[in-house]
Amino acid sequence: MDNRHRVMPSYARLVVLVAVAGLVAVGPSSTSSSARGVAETGQNPTLTSVGPLAFSADGTLFAADNLAASVYALDLGAQASGAVPGAKSIDNLDQALASLLGTAPAEIAVTDLAVHPRSRNAFVAVMRGQGAAAAPALFRIDGNGKIDLVSFQSLKFSKVDLPNAPAAGTGRRNPRADTVTDMALVDGKLWVAGLSNEEFASKLRAIPYPFASVDRGTSVEIFHGNHAAVETRSPVYTFVPYTLNGESNLIAGYLCTPLVKFALSGLKPGEKVRGTTIAELGAGNRPIDMLLYKKNGADFLLMSNTSHGVMKISTAGFATAAPITEPVRTPTGGVPFETVASMRGIEQMELLDAQNSIVVARGPSGLNLQVVPLP
């Protein structure tokens, strides 16, 4: 595995630190209202946090700022592509990123990974530091394994502030951190999963792009077979758009680990909708990422998890799977899956090309960026 990357000398790292500080120090140039729920446009976005990420087909980068309960659409311009297309494996990624930011690997957290649809460069979202002092950063990695800091200060942007975000709090997991858990652009709408401050907290929002405004979203609930209960407060942690029998759906992963499908046509603003649970994939687990791919003419869903490794799931039975509406007394049930034993410690995952995934994997010495053939 080639781990070539360029570590900056001290004076260059100082420039990087100034750039990172500028992410929260430079005010935006606004051309429209910044009222909550109404779009704002300008240059020099002032993100307070970064991740999750999602790309549109034309290369617009959507980035969630959960601390501010905002979603940005970023025009990367010339920073969309490095010198070489694609992305390359990098050992000790956390050490390389920490060095570029002038800090220790323990002081950074990788919050998401995305692949540009044209350059196929990898983009890595990072939070540097802890608590209120943490600052966001975004890096691009090209086909030579060269790492570059993306300067937010030069970017054009539009954004919307989510109108009913959960209040920031303390405890094992801050609800504000789950304001946005995943995003994907489908037919001109950015679908956003996460939590709200409402009684039925789990939300799916459809935000038309280009941004104009954002509504209150759809409250979604599920029947959790292993818990033998209807749940309204657990968010969708990751999802992928998928067409079943000609109808657009979201295939969603939940905590402990129901797999659920939602028909997009049924998700209306202000309404409450129950998804169709098609699998129970094991308790004591949180899904992290999903990707869809095709192999030997068949479609597969790959899902990384905190406790149960990476699951490979054939989509062939998704349309006809019997809904789970009764308690499931076995550890797993519904649509079958297999565990990919060769993929371990996967913390972020994305499709790189038709043959390969790209992952952030935790090994004995820290985080590695790996290009991994699709199973």
pLDDT digits (tens, 9 = 90+) for 245-266: 999 999 999 999 999 999 999 9
Question: Does residue 361 fall inside a structural domain?
Answer: no
Among candidate residues 235, 231, 269, 262, the one with its CA nearest the CA of residue 64: 235
User: What 3-state class would DSSP assign to 241?
Assistant: strand
Instruction: Please tell me the total count of domains within the chain.
Output: 2
Distance of CA 206 to the CA centre of its chain: 16
Mark whether 135 and 28 lie in a shared domain. yes
pLDDT of 68 above 60:
yes
Average pLDDT over residues 275-287: 97
Domain extent, residue 44, equals: 10-156
Give the separation between CA 301 and CA 280, rounded to whole angstroms.
Answer: 15
User: For residue 291, what pLDDT is reported?
Assistant: 98
Segment 270-279, tens digit of pLDDT: 999 999 999 9
pTM of the model: 0.90
Grouping H, G, I as helix, E, B as strand and the rest as coil, residue 107 is: helix
User: Would you say residue 18 lies in a domain?
Assistant: yes
Instruction: State the average pLDDT over residues 211-238.
Output: 96
The DSSP result for 139-190, as a single string, is EEE-TT--EEEPPGGG-EEEEEE-TTPPPP--SSS-GGGGS--EEEEETTEE
Judge if 241 and 115 occupy the same domain.
no
The reply to whether 99 falls in a domain is yes
Is the CB of residue 17 less than 8 Å from the CB of residue 135? no
Residues 31 and 149 in one domain: yes
Q: Which of 138, 156, 174 is the last residue of a domain?
A: 156
Residues 224 and 141 in one domain: no
Q: Is residue 207 part of a domain?
A: no
Q: How confident is the model at residue 35 (pLDDT cuts 50, 70, 90)?
A: low
Domain membership of residue 205 (yes or no) is no
pLDDT over threshold 60, residue 7: no
358: nearest Cα among 159, 171, 152, 114: 114
Which residues does residue 302 pair with via DSSP β-bridges, in sequence order?
Answer: 291, 312
Q: Is the pLDDT reported for residue 23 higher than 80?
A: no
Is residue 124 over pLDDT 90? yes
- Say whether both 229 and 98 belong to one domain: no
Domain final residue, candidates 156, 171, 198: 156
- pLDDT number for residue 37: 72
Q: In Å, what is the CA distance from 82 to each residue of 2, 9, 12, 141, 257?
A: 18, 20, 18, 7, 38
Q: Is residue 208 part of a domain?
A: no
**Across residues 33-46, what is the average pLDDT?**
81
Dist CA 92 CA 364 (whole Å)? 10
| Eight-class DSSP state of 222 | E
Structure tokens at 239: 């999802």
Query: Using CA atoms, how far apart are residues 180 and 70, in angstroms rounded to an integer?
Result: 9
**Would you place residue 320 in the very low, low, confident or very high pLDDT band (cuts 50, 70, 90)?**
very high
Q: What percent of the chain has pLDDT over 90?
A: 85
Q: Which residue has the higher pLDDT, 174 or 106?
A: 106
Across-strand partners of 251? Answer: 240, 261
Tokens read off for 138 = 């975004």
Does residue 26 surpass a pLDDT of 50? no
- Report the Cα–Cα distance between both ends of the chain, in Å, rounded: 19
Q: Output the pLDDT for position 105.
A: 96
Q: Mean pLDDT over residues 228-236, rounded? A: 96
- In a domain, residue 175? The reply is no
Residue finishing a domain among 105, 127, 156:
156
Residues 151 and 225 in one domain: no
Does residue 331 sit in the same domain as residue 223?
yes
Quote the distance between the C-alpha of residue 292 and its chain's center. 14
Do residues 150 and 221 share a domain? no
Q: Does residue 226 share a domain with residue 335?
A: yes
Residue range 135-144, pLDDT digits in tens: 999 999 999 9
Residue 200 lies in a domain: no
Q: Is 78 a residue whose pLDDT tops 80?
A: yes
- Segment holding 19, helix H or strand E: helix 10-25
Locate tokens 């943490």: which residue?
134
Strand 122-128 relative to strand 108-115: parallel, antiparallel, unpaired?
Answer: antiparallel
State the chain's mean pLDDT as an integer.
Answer: 91
Residue 204 above 80 pLDDT?
yes
Check: CB of residue 176 under 8 Å from CB of residue 165. yes
Q: How many residues are present in the chain?
A: 375
CA distance 276 to 258: 10
Which residue in this structure is represented by tokens 């037919």?
Answer: 187
| Domain identity same for 16 and 145 | yes
Which residue, chain included where needed, has tokens 């202000």?
A: 270
* Residue 15 and residue 100 in one domain: yes
